[in-house]
Structure 1
Amino acid sequence: MGISGNQNEAVGAPRRDRRSARKAASALALMAPGFVCTPSAHALVATADGAAAATGAQDDAIIVTATKRDASLEDVPVAVSVASGQAIARAQIRDLKDLTSLVPSLSMQQLQSPANVNIYIRGFGNGANNSGIEPSVGVFVDGVYRSRTAAQIADLPDVDQVEVLRGPQSTLFGKNASAGVISIITRLPQFKPGGDFEASWGNYNALVLKGLVTGPVTDALAVSLAAGRNRRDGTIVDPDTGHRSNGRNRWFVRGQALWQPGDDLSLRVIGDYGLINEVCCAPVNVQPSAATQAVLAVGGKVNAPDAIYADQAWWNFDSTNRIANYGFSGQLDYKLDRVKITAISAWRRLTSATNQDSDFSSGQMLARNAQDLKLSTFTEELRVATDLPGPFNAVGGVYYFNETLDQRSAIAFGQDMRAYANLLVQEASGGALSVPQLEQVLGSLEGDPTRYAGRFFASGQGSNERYRLRNEAFSAYFQADLKLGGGVTLTGGAAFTSDTKRYDMAGVSSDVFAGVDLDGRAYAPFRQQLLTAAGLRAQDVNPRDAAAVAAFAQANPQGYAAVLGRAAANAKNPSANPLAPLRSLQLFPAYVNLPNAVEPGRTHDQRVTWTARAMLAMTAHLRGYLSYATGFKASSINLSRDSRPFASDQAALEAAGLAQVNQTYATRFAGPERTTVYELGLKAEWGLATANLAVFQQTISGFQSNLFTGTGFALVNAGKERVRGVELETALRPAAGLVLSGSATWLDPLYQDFAMSAVGDLSGRRPAGIPALSFTLAGQYEHRLGRSARLFVRADFHHESPVTMEDGLPGFLSLGTAAAIAASAQYQRRVNEVNTALGVILAARTDLTVWGRNLTDNRTLTKIFDSVAQPLGISGYTNQPRTYGASVRYRF
């Protein structure tokens, strides 16, 4: 039964000793950038006064859990980076997003809410913006899977170690780890009283408080309590109101109990609660359009395109982002002779209530865009691992996952929407039409001139939806190591995964204009009239000037007849409909709810994934490995208002009378992702220097692409995407107290087959958002001051080469695929960030530090997208500006 905890610790007293060894050895992670690729034979060990000393003990190697067994990092044939809690503290890493400055293969994108952050490893990742999608990068906290980024992105709690595993990990991590895994391991309760407290102050009135106390209750029971508070004013201000967005307001508490009655039995129980309640996240106007001019005309304000990084934006009300994340977990370890049995159980709950002024202006086009999400998750894992003295060892187990999701969403027009839409209608029709005119004419043609009077784009109209998803998954896995002669170790493993999702969607649209069929038979006379007027204008005749029209008809009867003939012929032709430009303003059409007679609302996927590796100890200092691995992620469901039936169901839906007015067809879900990776790696350590090199080719078939369309999300499968790459991590100690390190990633991605993307055929193109080169260079110097104090200084520089941020913008498809791609291609992101820290350690108990992040104030766009309800407009999110501050930390 377990309820989480570090699933890979040994049991009993040896467990405490091994954890102490890990803590001592992980001082290596102070080899900034904070991550270590392989340990030195002369690992750093913390001495009694906290100083770093060299030792030749191999037992002090960094211990990782990448293979679900304790193993030395140098003996694991997996591309994995490790950071200690101390390294994270020195680098002022506050949450997972900050880790990207330390691991070039890891990147994240902050979107419209603190609950929406996409995580990428080696360029692959998705999932944050659509609650029906689980991320391709699996995040585990103390062995417990966190299925949504809203449950992952919070302050890093009482961290002992973070491991980043690159490439598919589906064989041992049985739930949706097709691109990689981030494993966060928190500190165990200690059987010796202790504590760790930190207070940090910074610009934007930032305040961070963290504390941990731990100690024994009995000889067999130890407990700990950790808590933290993080607040900061917003970095973006509304000039009219002075209100701020993009701030921090969050806290957490975590309690743990560790029961160890003997060397063979251990039980760890964890309970935690975290709350985020922030005003976030304000985008800026990146490219205006005619719609932007309409926003200004109705009194709205947006930033000018040359003021993207002025940290100013306008909104009508402060956004709501209240995210509560809590749960209980427990892990039971029992050692029986040479076999260790581990059981982990966990129950978690996530609630997320958000609301945003999504027209991103001071105009009241949209009154709200709200979502209420509830997620309950239960997981159970039972694992058996051997520790045999011979050449063969294995680990195997079963994993069960059960989750229910309930989401309610609502979006509504504001009081300025009608005036705003009227301007867009006039612009789209060249001044020939207006909203009142449309209401009167369309109503008259339906037999009631007052039917639509005052009802198009009225305040309060919009869409209300409810989505429910039930996901049940099971996996069984087995992996074995066989040590042969000559320093060769062979590893083979396989996992079977079965995943079933049942979902239902119910939506009600009150958008009256979206319910009008502009191709309807009743409107044919009106369409013919508009076509005639357009034909006359093409002949330089003003259709509103009766005398001019009569003169043209008399002077050119054949030409006049041709105009009338073409208008009559095309009055019922949807492709020539003069009202077609107005379809972009039919924002919330009616839904086909499901399950229904045609769509069952169910997916079932199953797959066997496997891995094969060979590792060779070539010398005492050099190891090489060759691996092949496959990964799997089950189908993801499009839980957004852009969920539409598949085109293959059109005939059946129409036959059943289920098709709605203005029915469109897209996807309800995206099928599974299937990953393969070939990898060649070298791990070298020469005492004072270490290096890791990985060369790989990774391919994902059916990559689940999720693209914002302006009102919802288009979820489709890419046919095939591959990335070739090289990763290098190094660390060097050229002199006493000095550590230099670097890590770099070079990636060459390609859409080999993506004909049905949301913006057209992308086959043969480089995927957006993946820089060709990213690297981090870092250094740390530590100098003793007298007998009991030490000075340290650290700095790192993180670079990402220029990259196009989006493959294309769906809102530009009316201009053609090339225009949709070109619209986004002109906006690129280049990252050059410098982070530093200068500190004094007093008597090995107190740290005083001044620090800065993004000291050069390198400003970039992190994401661009179609502006909501603003055709041909582009909005975007900016990165955080320069932050700096001071902190004090006390330990006992």
Structure 2
Amino acid sequence: MIARSLWLAGAASLAFCASGVRAENSTPNTPADSAPEVVAPETEAPDTEAGDTEASDIVVTARRRAETAQNVPIAISVVSGAQIDSTGAFNVGRLQQLAPTLQFYTSNPRNSAVNIRGIGAPFGLTNDGIEQGVGIYVDDVYYSRVASATFDFLDVAQIEVLRGPQGTLYGKNTTAGAVNITTNQPTFDFEAKAELSIGNLNFKQAKAAISGPLSDTLAARVAISATSRRGTIYNVATDRWTQSQDNIGIRGQLLWKPTDNLSITLVGDYNKQDAVCCSSVFVRTGATQRPLNRQYEALAAAQNYQVVSRNPYDRLTDLDANLNAGNEIGGAALRIKWDVGPGTLTSVTAWRYWDWQPENDRDFTALPIVTKSQNPSQQKQYTQELRYNVSADRFDFVVGGFAYYQRIDTQGTEAHGPASSRWTLNPSSALANDPSVLDGLTAINTQYLKNTSLALFGQATWKVSDHFSIQPGIRVNYDKKKGFYQRRVFAGDRSPVVYGPTDAVTLARLGVFAPQEISPTFSDWNFSYDLTATYKPDRDLLFYATYAKTFKSGGINQNGVPSDASNNPILAAATVKPESVHHFELGAKTEFWDRRATFNLSAFRTDIKNYQANVNNGQFGVLRGYLANAGKVRTQGVEADFSVRPSARFHAYVNGAYTDAKYVKFVDAPCPPELSGGSNSPPNCDISGARLPGVSKWAFSFGAEANVPAKFLGKDGQFYLGYDGNYRSDFSSNPTPSAYTWIDGYALSNFRGGFRTGDGLDAYLWVRNAFDRNYMEQLSVGPGNTGLIVGLPGDPQTWGGTVKVRF
């Protein structure tokens, strides 16, 4: 009781962090809701005796039932909570360093995308009118907002990254894959854990979790988390560091288990970010087809402006507009598991919300060109999933239904300042020398989206023999979207700016902000299916082949559409066709050397017709981006995962992927900046054959850890040294490949070393990006076809220490 009281007092005084996970050498403890306890993956050292060299089986729930990862005919990467902690991969952005086929891109929490094998969501500005191709699930609850991926993982036990379509098993249809996150569950045995990390850049992170019984049938678990860090880019205009981290989260669970056959879990979580974000740095300029006096260098010189630094790795910026990235996400869920008849009935009812309060500087300079750019947004979603699972000697199946409703409201304000006329208008025009023409010009955007999705799905496994099985799956889906978009424009004196008057000032203003109102709608039925054949000649070898015919729901354009010659919105562009997906995959999984080593191999090809792509407009505020269908996209490649554990004192892993993802046919794509801006520039470009954005052809992750038994400060344990690294080759950072936006390949190295004991103490030092490699995470084309290229540098070298305890 004394230890428990001390723990509770310590957790309360810290008021810090979550993602509390089992320490590396912990003893397995079955959670109270009868879900399988996940064990450490191949890259984590389990609690084994010195002579035990056989790795523990990794239990996953990818097919909605507990089974070992090596028996699942799916390409899957498994990362334990312990590995997340030890490698510092505490959100999806860092998780991609451990899973080579996962790509995560973000310029701010709203403009974030998660892709697998190069597909999932179009690269560029977020458009609420379409679905994500990669589903994020936390304890069976679908998270529709990728913004949730920017938060810290909260009390995570295990993460499964599933590659390939998953629509016949998971609630929301996903064409590229899923990130399936399992958190630690309430237990009827008391347990508590805490973790504190400090490092350079004023990094502070704390995690705490406590779990135990409230009665014989009621258990509770609470986890809290906090992360703060100084930013990595210094803004000389405001004397502030930007790109900071300021996250806090809490997750609480109540488990009622009146009988062995019934468990009911009530979950609530709250997460908030209040970072100084998001900025960029000057990278370079590139020639466009604009007249020379309308390109960046001439426009900057005309206003005596010089950027604070032309070396992006000085990490200096001079943005003059307010920056903010207020981000709040939370929700509640009720999960019921009832063993009834020959199977288990599962019901998951959830409500989630998202509140986004941004402020940006869209001209990327210290000049008052765009003085305000903000699109605050509020979302609520409701989901209900019902599944029935049966496992028998020769026949397993899952049948279920899923209902989803989402409402998003967005209120946008964009305004120009006194420097806009000289920057935006043709310098040969007398209006360019009159600041009042565009000073105060403001667009007020109002939009909403109502999104409804209903589905029935099922998947069965017929074990034809002890070695061969077939697994068919089907899904019937109905989607309906209803949207509204309105843009009203006002001059600096608050008078409306509308079409009709033909005076030069009005036309100049309409060339920057154009009023528009549309009410797009979309609805459609879809039928999809898949078939997997599995051959398992012995315990340690499995082969599988999969074909899937699936889809991604059609969508609507929520950010406006182009206008015709009469200035009327082109309503044909208001809706986007569904993607039609054909997916093929072959794989092999094997264990050898008395199960000391594991090697998995997969080859895949995915063809997508009517691929949903972003089309960007270069002018200020006219139309930032809208969705269109590319003719056809293909991604294909090979993935391999290898791990070895010759003894309890050493283990190592290498994971690699070759991905060839390209536009097979896209004849009316937006042109790159070098072909844009001139009076004779093509209205669109044929980029058939070009590589998809954000995709590296080669990606690897690799690492090792060694330990030796020792006694330190009177405690028996082990000293250990670990290394984790990753490499990715070059990739395009623009929806249409441009010579100005290729990001060079780079490799990162992380080291850790410390001492841990079998009773829950772990203390270690760490360094990430150990060799202080300069690299870019993302490049963006500045507005207006001026040739400005800005970027977001990756984190510099960071170092610190961590102490973890478990009771």
TM range (shorter): 0.7 to 0.9
CA displacement at 1:505 relative to structure 2: 1.1
Aligned to 1:602: 521
**Whole-angstrom CA distance in 2 between matches of 1:345 and 1:807:** 37
Aligned to 2:770: 855
Size of the alignment, in residue pairs? Answer: 744
**Whole-angstrom CA distance in 2 between matches of 1:186 and 1:707:** 38
Aligned to 1:625: 544
Amino acid at match of 1:187: N
Superposition map of 1:756-795 within 5 A: 756-759=668-671, 760-786=685-711, 788-795=716-723
Paired residues of 1:788 and 1:844 also in contact (CA < 8 A): no
Aligned to 2:407: 404
**Alignment pair present for 1:189 and 2:117:** no
Amino acid at match of 1:699: D
Among 352, 367, 371, which residue is 2:371 paired with?
367
Identity of aligned residues (%): 27
**Whole-angstrom CA distance in 2 between matches of 1:765 and 1:514:** 43
Q: Which has the larger radius of gyration?
A: 1
**Alignment pair present for 1:739 and 2:651:** yes
CA displacement at 1:485 relative to structure 2: 1.9
Aligned to 1:72: 68
1:563-590 deviation per Cα after TM superposition (whole angstroms, max 9, x unaligned): xxxxxxxxxxxxxxxx9xx989922122
Unaligned 5+ runs, structure 1: 1-12, 32-43, 440-453, 524-578, 596-600, 809-820
**Whole-angstrom CA distance in 2 between matches of 1:765 and 1:203:** 41
**Whole-angstrom CA distance in 2 between matches of 1:298 and 1:247:** 31
Amino acid at match of 2:703: A
Superposition map of 1:376-391 within 5 A: 376-388=380-392, 390-391=393-394
**Whole-angstrom CA distance in 1 between matches of 2:365 and 2:720:** 46
Among 795, 801, 805, which residue is 1:880 paired with?
795
CA displacement at 1:418 relative to structure 2: 3.2
**Alignment pair present for 1:456 and 2:380:** no
Amino acid at match of 2:550: G
Among 239, 243, 261, which residue is 1:242 paired with?
239
Paired residues of 2:459 and 2:471 also in contact (CA < 8 A): yes
Residue 215 of structure 1 aligns to a residue whose secondary structure is strand
CA displacement at 1:296 relative to structure 2: 5.1
**Whole-angstrom CA distance in 2 between matches of 1:702 and 1:839:** 52
**Whole-angstrom CA distance in 2 between matches of 1:584 and 1:685:** 67
Aligned to 1:675: 581
Paired residues of 2:228 and 2:247 also in contact (CA < 8 A): yes
**Whole-angstrom CA distance in 2 between matches of 1:231 and 1:491:** 47
**Whole-angstrom CA distance in 2 between matches of 1:781 and 1:415:** 62
CA displacement at 1:363 relative to structure 2: 1.4
Aligned to 1:114: 109
**Whole-angstrom CA distance in 2 between matches of 1:297 and 1:486:** 78
**Whole-angstrom CA distance in 1 between matches of 2:54 and 2:643:** 17
Aligned to 1:26: 40
**Whole-angstrom CA distance in 2 between matches of 1:331 and 1:510:** 50
CA displacement at 1:239 relative to structure 2: 2.9
Aligned to 2:97: 101
CA displacement at 1:303 relative to structure 2: 4.2
Paired residues of 1:638 and 1:713 also in contact (CA < 8 A): no
Aligned to 1:505: 485
Query: CA distance change for structure 1 residues 477 and 664 in 2, over 3 Å: closer, same or farther?
Result: closer
Aligned to 2:290: none
1:59-94 deviation per Cα after TM superposition (whole angstroms, max 9, x unaligned): x63221111122221211111111111111111112
Aligned to 2:299: 294
Paired residues of 2:169 and 2:398 also in contact (CA < 8 A): no
Residue 87 of structure 1 aligns to a residue whose secondary structure is helix
CA displacement at 1:496 relative to structure 2: 0.5
**Alignment pair present for 1:281 and 2:278:** yes
Aligned to 2:450: 470
Residue 26 of structure 1 aligns to a residue whose secondary structure is coil
Query: CA distance change for structure 1 residues 15 and 264 in 2, over 3 Å: closer, same or farther?
Result: farther
What TM-score comes out, normalization by structure 1 length?
A: 0.79
Aligned to 1:643: 561
1:181-219 deviation per Cα after TM superposition (whole angstroms, max 9, x unaligned): 001111001111111111111111010011101110011
Residue 349 of structure 1 aligns to a residue whose secondary structure is strand
Aligned to 1:701: 609
**Alignment pair present for 1:483 and 2:460:** no
**Alignment pair present for 1:132 and 2:38:** no
Amino acid at match of 2:578: P
1:614-653 deviation per Cα after TM superposition (whole angstroms, max 9, x unaligned): 111122321101111133221233222x4336x7xx8xxx
CA displacement at 1:425 relative to structure 2: 2.1
CA displacement at 1:174 relative to structure 2: 3.8
Query: CA distance change for structure 1 residues 386 and 857 in 2, over 3 Å: closer, same or farther?
Result: same
Residue 28 of structure 1 aligns to a residue whose secondary structure is coil
**Whole-angstrom CA distance in 2 between matches of 1:270 and 1:52:** 40
Paired residues of 1:320 and 1:353 also in contact (CA < 8 A): yes
Amino acid at match of 2:805: Y
**Whole-angstrom CA distance in 1 between matches of 2:757 and 2:798:** 25
Query: CA distance change for structure 1 residues 251 and 17 in 2, over 3 Å: closer, same or farther?
Result: closer
**Whole-angstrom CA distance in 2 between matches of 1:490 and 1:329:** 34
Aligned to 1:314: 318
Residue 299 of structure 2 aligns to a residue whose secondary structure is helix
**Whole-angstrom CA distance in 2 between matches of 1:699 and 1:228:** 41
1:162-187 deviation per Cα after TM superposition (whole angstroms, max 9, x unaligned): 00000111122242411110011110
Residue 269 of structure 1 aligns to a residue whose secondary structure is strand
CA displacement at 1:304 relative to structure 2: 4.1
Superposition map of 1:186-225 within 5 A: 186-225=183-222
CA displacement at 1:803 relative to structure 2: 2.5
CA displacement at 1:299 relative to structure 2: 5.3
Query: CA distance change for structure 1 residues 492 and 400 in 2, over 3 Å: closer, same or farther?
Result: same
Amino acid at match of 1:374: Q
Query: CA distance change for structure 1 residues 284 and 337 in 2, over 3 Å: closer, same or farther?
Result: same
Superposition map of 1:509-520 within 5 A: 509-510=489-490
**Alignment pair present for 1:415 and 2:339:** no
Amino acid at match of 2:194: F
Residue 754 of structure 2 aligns to a residue whose secondary structure is strand
Aligned to 2:663: 751
Paired residues of 2:51 and 2:648 also in contact (CA < 8 A): no
Larger % of strand: which?
A: 2
Paired residues of 1:714 and 1:758 also in contact (CA < 8 A): no
**Alignment pair present for 1:493 and 2:473:** yes
CA displacement at 1:97 relative to structure 2: 0.5
Amino acid at match of 2:751: T
Residue 296 of structure 2 aligns to a residue whose secondary structure is helix
CA displacement at 1:241 relative to structure 2: 3.9
**Whole-angstrom CA distance in 2 between matches of 1:96 and 1:801:** 20
What TM-score comes out, normalization by structure 2 length?
A: 0.87
Unaligned 5+ runs, structure 2: 1-28, 287-294, 672-684
**Whole-angstrom CA distance in 1 between matches of 2:237 and 2:659:** 44
Aligned to 1:538: none
Query: CA distance change for structure 1 residues 135 and 824 in 2, over 3 Å: closer, same or farther?
Result: farther
Query: CA distance change for structure 1 residues 875 and 387 in 2, over 3 Å: closer, same or farther?
Result: same
Answer with 347-356 or 412-421: which moved more: 412-421
**Whole-angstrom CA distance in 2 between matches of 1:727 and 1:584:** 52
Aligned to 1:805: 733
Paired residues of 2:284 and 2:788 also in contact (CA < 8 A): yes
Paired residues of 2:50 and 2:648 also in contact (CA < 8 A): no
Answer with 370-379 or 762-771: which moved more: 762-771
Residue 351 of structure 2 aligns to a residue whose secondary structure is strand
Amino acid at match of 2:89: I
Paired residues of 2:51 and 2:647 also in contact (CA < 8 A): no
**Alignment pair present for 1:81 and 2:77:** yes
Among 349, 352, 359, which residue is 2:356 paired with?
352
